[in-house]
Amino acid sequence: MSRIDRTKARNDGEAARVADALDALDEEESKRLLAEIEQAMRSRMHTIRLTDRLQKFYFLATRRQRSRIARAWFLAVVAINLLTIGIDAILHPPVLGLSLAMRAGFIPLVYGILIGVWLRPRRAWIEGATLPLAVAAMMVVAGVISRRAGFPGNDYLLAGLFGISTGVVVIPVGVAWTILGAAVAIGSFTLHGALGPAPCIRTLMFSLYCAAVVGALVPARAGLNAVIQHAFLLRLKSSIQSRALAAANARLAVQASTDTLTGLANRRGFDEAANRLLRADAGLPSRRLGIVIADIDFFKRLNDTAGHPAGDRCLEAVAGAIRACIPKGGLAARYGGEEFICLLVDPTPGTLQRLAEGLRAGVEALGWANPGLGPGATVTVSVGIALAARDGGTAGLADLIAAADSALYRAKADGRNRVVAAWEGGARGAADRGAARLPAAVPAAVPATRAS
């Protein structure tokens, strides 16, 4: 794997962790998080304050980037220290041994530990503490070598101070830790200067000058933090809004393909699901499909006598009975006013007949009163079934539905509340005509116009 690929994989992994954290939020929590983002963004950029929850997302989303910056700076300082060993040897050869011990031993050890801290996710205070520790270590090295060499001024410490002060701007930690790092740098410079041979007034003047210079770096770090946090808030807000939009679109898609009364698929949903199934099975010409069409008997009389609300409750009850009969992998839909359709994959004729009979019996067992037929009469359904045979079934799904529809007509004509198969009796010819292969898409279905 190339370096670019590894970097992309790491970034994708970080994005995936943020995505997982967002997925764990329910709709209300997402709204509250979005409100926190908008509240934070109302303030001026340099005064942005992240809530505790936003802080967690911030550290999760930016940890790898911040880690790379911090580790690169630590490694750069170690490299500079190794190069400075030669300068120490030129300026004052007697300190070469001490320089080797401090710059090639002590600094790499301390900074290696600090690099290790940034290799894994840590608490904010642990990451922040690496800055003052790094500053203290470098100032100790500069002070010890300077005193051992007997330099009369603060030049050595001054060079160390300005070198280490870059960390105040570069290392991406909170402003409080940045201020502490700057204070450690100035305090170390002042302390070593006071203990050295230089006059106190000279040390004080240099300390004030260095405090002004290093102190000016603190707002720079604060500004960088504000820019990074503002960009993070924009990305997080966009991500939450995109997820909310996707969820809303998904709900609309479900609503567009679902019958709101029964909760089953509607005709559009059935056609779309059947299209997906046929496309997926395009390479399986021997696939067997079964169709079950059920129509509530005398439903108009129920509506006319009991009213439409009672009719709606009846449709819900019948849909529940149908749903209970459909095996896993099957599809049930409300195909018309009081008509329901089921699609099954690879059923045998016996399986299809048993399912249809179970559906018919399940509706009858509801005991749902149909006052339009007289006292004691209950709601029943007539059912037609058809099967696309492996070796010579219908020419397409529309023909298969038409065959089941014809069988349903026969069930109505034969007295209702019964199951009729398309391959039985006069309906057999309709079931057996056509090619065995189903088409790649669902044609327009044959409309049902029979009487209830």
**pLDDT for res 117:** 94
**Residues of each domain in the chain carrying CATH 3.30.70.270:** 267-432
**Closest to 39 in 3D by CA, of 28, 54, 25, 29:** 54
**Closest to 347 in 3D by CA, of 287, 295, 407:** 287
**pLDDT for res 451:** 52
Torsion, Cα 242 244 250 255, to 10 degrees, reads -140
Determine contact, residues 104/85, Cβ cutoff 8 Å. Answer: yes
Q: Which CATH superfamily is domain 267-432 in?
A: Reverse transcriptase/Diguanylate cyclase domain (3.30.70.270)
CB atoms within 10 A of CB 109: 12
Q: How far apart are the first and last CA of the chain?
A: 67
**Structure token pair of residue 243:** 């997820």
Handedness of CA 286, 289, 290, 295 (dihedral sign): negative
Give Cα separations from 287 to 55, 172, 180, 328, 356 (angstroms).
Answer: 55, 61, 73, 17, 20
**pLDDT for res 393:** 38
**Closest to 181 in 3D by CA, of 159, 205, 165, 203:** 165
**pLDDT for res 386:** 93
d(Cα 128, Cα 171) in Å, to the nearest integer? Answer: 9
d(Cα 444, Cα 267) in Å, to the nearest integer? Answer: 11
**pLDDT for res 106:** 95
Handedness of CA 394, 396, 399, 401 (dihedral sign): positive
d(Cα 386, Cα 341) in Å, to the nearest integer? Answer: 11
- Rounded to whole angstroms, the maximal C-alpha distance in the chain is 119
Residues of the chain with pLDDT under 50: 1-9, 390-395, 426-449
d(Cα 239, Cα 30) in Å, to the nearest integer? Answer: 11
**pLDDT for res 428:** 39
- Segment 353-369, tens digit of pLDDT: 999 999 999 999 999 99
- Segment 63-117, tens digit of pLDDT: 888 999 999 999 999 999 999 898 888 878 888 899 899 999 999 999 999 999 9
d(Cα 31, Cα 237) in Å, to the nearest integer? Answer: 10
**pLDDT for res 389:** 55
Residues shown for the chain: 452
d(Cα 45, Cα 226) in Å, to the nearest integer? Answer: 6
What lies within 8 Å, CB to CB, of 150 at 6+ separation is 197
pTM comes to 0.58
**Closest to 338 in 3D by CA, of 289, 379, 290, 378:** 379
Determine contact, residues 369/337, Cβ cutoff 8 Å. Answer: no
**Closest to 273 in 3D by CA, of 437, 428, 441, 148:** 441
